[in-house]
Structure 1
């Protein structure tokens, strides 16, 4: 698998998962809150904080026609333009947000949605980009973004395998092989039945790329489980408090929850470990409590070993149980008391 490098972190096999705190709309219109979110994400263990770069006018039309109404889900009853008015991160904040992230030592990047936003972020010297699930079929945009020759993390929610193939192909054909994919269920919030985490391994095998999870589900079960499925990136919406109402608050994690998720992810990575049959010191110590062959009745010198004077019991200081048939009928060279382990040195050849 071809790894990608973001600043000083490599994303790929044999590396810890790269964990992204998605701010999205959780600033709720306050630049001060946005700055606090960056600090809180750093303290919670995130590697990166992400924003989104669009305006209502760049992403949709100010129209009340039926096509621009949302009739189901978390944002039911909203008009697209008014929803994006509430959710967007003002562009004039983003330079200061990036500077704050750099000051405290957390990566910063963004999701642009059109060429104009890419140009803006290029002027900010953003190091890498996110492609949202909703943009994966926007081939002209992907071509433009790929030509900037910066790492791209692309969500695949709603996409067919053919659409993912088309998107990967256009990015590669435009000279950019610094790509990672995210499995994603583009529902807000997502439910476990729709997560299909097995796709993580299939995407990795199909495209030979780092794969992760863009997680809109509640809690951390999906994120931690995905680590065992091979995920190398976790993206999760992050807020200071779900009590601060905004379009994304209901499915975002608060700092303590995010911190616990990061700790669980790191513990899962340690538990997954590597293929290694050597024993740890603790395992070696525990081996003495295995079963082995012990003398259960006194045996006199030159007396035969029988099923009546030995038994397979704990602890493990005697011969291994696999030698049971070999020792039956053999004679001992000296007296052996009940409770002694049976060992080769006291058995006649």
Structure 2
């Protein structure tokens, strides 16, 4: 990858997640559509159900009682969503051949070791894994940029994750403001946390968004987010465990364009006045013919557009003074036109 691509300007990531629906051809077509929609990167997840939870049916690991995945046991959910390891290399090649950066979120040391064989350029730490300090330490030790979602973290958790990365010799950290609800609603976003995170933790900050639409990403960019991550699917009608809160290609493309425009609109802090705008302002002009030695009055001098004449701040200074020349109606005034002696 171009190692600077991740750090230059706005970086937009399409999350494949479980939207491959255990179909390699679908996964390939999805990544091709990601590229066409204008993303900079595609992110996958590298795990097995056994690396995330236990195949046990009790009060802790039994069917979920509410939410989007109500009735699913965690083990079944993760087994359904896992991306086969043997697909990674193929999907990486598809991504890179389409100009995308391909990276992943690992969930165990063996996943990290596997991803190292693919030389992925970035690692992602998912929100639930922010407390897995041994895993974060191991990821950080690979000295690659790390993106950390914070949807299930408090301030202490975030600082501990950062300290862990730093201790492992890795300071290349991006924090993602995240609301870990599926789907999330706008009132849950609390986007004012973004500039606070940037200042509080001294890290690059972005957004991992699970709301519908792209209003929240645009607002996040306006508040300083430089990484935007959204789930991507070819068609929500395909179904699947992540389909309900994923963006279709045309929606994603619209988001990319809107976020790029919002980022461009940020510009820089400037109070510079262009010559074009200076000349569009008001200035002092003669609004009647004025003869030599005639007095400047409220009747024959006014502040009007455009700005070629004397600055209006001199209006009261010139009233009562006499003209040193004949001035036609519509002529701009200058200090050279004034006799310093008032009548």
Please say which of residues 262-271 and 324-333 is displaced more in the overlay: 262-271
Find the aligned partners of 2:293 and 2:49 in 1 and give their Cα distance.
96
Give the aligned partner of residue 94 of structure 2: 100
| Paired residues for 1:259-270 under 5 Å | 259-270=253-264
Match of 2:232 in 1: 238
> How far apart are the structure 2 equivalents of 1:285 and 1:179?
43
Correspondences of 1:95-134 after superposition (within 5 Å): 95-134=89-128
Is there any run of 5+ residues in structure 2 with no aligned partner, and where? none
Equivalent residue number for residue 40 of structure 1: 33
Aligned match for 1:311, one of 287, 296, 302: 302
- In 1, Cα distance between equivalents of 2:246 and 2:205: 22
Give the secondary-structure state (helix, strand or coil) at the position aligned to 1:61: coil
| 1:324-335 alignment runs, 5 A limit | 324-335=315-326
Separation in structure 2 between the aligned mates of residue 11 and residue 52 of structure 1, nearest angstrom: 19
Distance of 1:168 and 1:314 partners within structure 2: 56
- SS at structure 2 position matched to 1:235: strand
**Cα drift, residue 10 of structure 1:** 5.1
Taking the aligned partners of 2:164 and 2:308, their CA distance within structure 1 comes to 65
CA contact (8 A) 1:22 1:236 kept: yes
Q: Is residue 50 of structure 2 the alignment partner of residue 57 of structure 1?
A: yes
Determine which of 149, 157, 171 is the counterpart of 1:155.
149
Question: CA contact under 8 A between 1:110 and 1:129: conserved in structure 2?
Answer: yes
The residue number in structure 2 matching 1:225 is 219
User: How many residues were matched structurally?
Assistant: 339
User: Structure 1 CA distance, aligned partners of 2:5 and 2:91?
Assistant: 24
User: Taking CA–CA contacts closer than 8 Å with sequence separation of 6 or more, which of the two structures ends up with the larger relative contact order?
Assistant: 1
CA displacement 1:64-99 (0-9 Å, x = unmatched) = 323232222222232212222322212221111112
Matches within 5 A, 1:1-349: 7-9=2-4, 11-12=6-7, 15-68=8-61, 69-279=63-273, 283-349=274-340
| Pairwise CA distance, 1:297 | 2.8
Q: Deviation per CA, 1:172-231, whole angstroms, max 9, x where unpaired?
A: 112222222111111111222221222222222222221111111111112122122221
Question: Which structure 1 residue ranges, 5 or more long, are not aligned?
Answer: 1-5
Q: Post-superposition shift, 1:116?
A: 2.1
Contact kept, 8 Å, 1:11 with 1:210, in 2: the verdict is no
